[in-house]
Amino acid sequence: MENNVTEFILMGLSQNKEVQQLCFFLFLLFYMILMTGNFFIIITIQRSSNLNSPMYFFLSFLSFVDICYSSVTAPKLIIDFQAKVKRISFDGCMVQLFFIHLLGCTEIFILTVMAYDRYMAICKPLRYLTIMDWKFCSILVVFCWLGGFVHTFIQTVLTVQLPFCGPNLIDHYFCDVHPLLKLACTDTYVVGLIAMANSGMISLSSFVILVGSYTVILLSFKTHSSEGRRKALSTCASHITVVILYFVPCIFIYLRPSTTFPEDKMVAVFYTVITPMLNPLIYSLRNTEVKNAMKRLWIKRLLGRTTWGLIQPPL
């Protein structure tokens, strides 16, 4: 069947003008916090010699993915709050779909890798540095990207080949599989099942692995000293918080047949904007090493600039 649609119209989060104006400033603030916080995490880890363990290597990669992930949807969402008609071309829609699933799935895998890293550090401390060397960590990151690419390739190919004859109104603020399946002028039952198996099962299986890993880690705390237990618990608590905030909305959205609910848009805000914004706050506020490194780095930079200004001769 021929595809007659050249562009889609996004309905956005709300049709109310006052709500849209409020959301414009609110999400602009969220996006600024998100970008600033994640950049601070990356720069702090890159510039701090005491943050050179695999855990911080993966945390830096997570912040990079968060920046890219939110940038696929947030700028368009913010601009659309001021637009009368929220248009996106067919090609632009498919590109957005591709990168949403590439970066979203990559984040799922990196969170799973971070849980494995914490398991090795806490449960196998004597073998940790031998196993988690930089070569192995780099291989894990490559596999995270490859896993994300395989996932998004399947999702994008399934969606691109669907015929769209109209209407072209997407009840969402970005292009995703379920809203697009709803618009296809063909039977999408099989495609919906494949999409659910692809996205939903990845989310659910990774969540189960993560819960199992952290359960084993928490049970192993009784063999640690009180100081070691406190430090390990603080690190794991931040990871568990991120996992719950990210995976629960993903499972709600993707682990079901190709149906849409009015709540989907607000739920999607959590894993596309809120969680990437909170990640730097959760990891820095609950991690003493990151907080101390940030203080040392940024105070040193501020003092360096002040000292440089004091020694410069007046013009």
CA distance 67 to 70: 6
Q: Note the maximum CA span of the chain.
A: 76
User: Could you tell me which residues are beta bridge partners of residue 123?
Assistant: none
Helical pair 275-285 and 288-311, crossing angle rounded to 10 deg:
90
Q: What is the pLDDT of residues 222-246, one digit of tens each?
A: 666 666 667 667 667 777 888 888 9
Q: Is the peptide bond before 75 cis (omega within 30 degrees of 0)?
A: no
Residue type (1 letter), 292: N
Please name the residues in contact with 180: beta carbons below 8 A apart, sequence gap of 6 or more: 93, 97, 159, 162, 164, 170
Distance between CA 132 and CA 138 in Å, rounded? 10
Is there a contact between 232 and 217 (Cβ–Cβ < 8 Å)?
yes
195 Ramachandran zone, left/alpha/beta (phi>0; psi -120 to 50): alpha
How many residues comprise the chain?
Answer: 315
CB 207 within 8 A of CB 261: no
| Among 5, 7, 62, 74, residue whose Cα is nearest residue 38 | 62
What CATH superfamily classification does 7-289 receive? Rhodopsin 7-helix transmembrane proteins (1.20.1070.10)
Domain boundaries, the chain: 7-289
Q: To 10 degrees, what angle do helices 288-311 and 17-47 make?
A: 80
Beta strands 7-10 and 87-89, pairing class:
antiparallel
CA end-to-end span of the chain, whole Å? 74
Q: Residue 282 CB: number of other CB atoms within 10 A? A: 19
12: left (phi over 0), alpha (psi -120 to 50) or beta: left
What token pair was written down for 147? 């896993």
Write out pLDDT tens, residues 131-178: 899 899 999 999 999 999 999 999 999 999 888 887 889 999 999 999
Which backbone phi and psi does 258 adopt, to 5 degrees? Answer: -75, 70
Integer Cα distance of 96 and 104 in angstroms: 12
How deeply is 210 buried, as exposed, middle or buried, from its count of CB atoms within 10 A (0-12, 13-18, 19+)? buried
Helix (H, G, I), strand (E, B) or coil at 53: coil
Q: What is the DSSP letter of 222?
A: G
Q: Which of 114, 33, 40 lies closest to 70 in space, CA to CA? A: 33
Tens of pLDDT along the chain (315 residues)?
A: 567 788 999 998 888 899 999 999 999 999 999 999 999 899 888 888 788 889 899 999 999 999 999 999 999 999 999 998 999 999 999 999 999 999 999 999 999 999 899 888 888 888 888 889 989 999 999 999 999 999 999 999 999 988 888 788 999 999 999 999 989 888 888 888 888 888 888 999 999 988 888 888 877 776 666 666 676 676 677 778 888 889 999 998 888 877 777 788 989 999 999 999 988 888 776 677 777 787 787 777 666 655 545 445 544
- The β-bridge partners of 87 are 9
What would the two tokens of residue 207 be?
């969540």
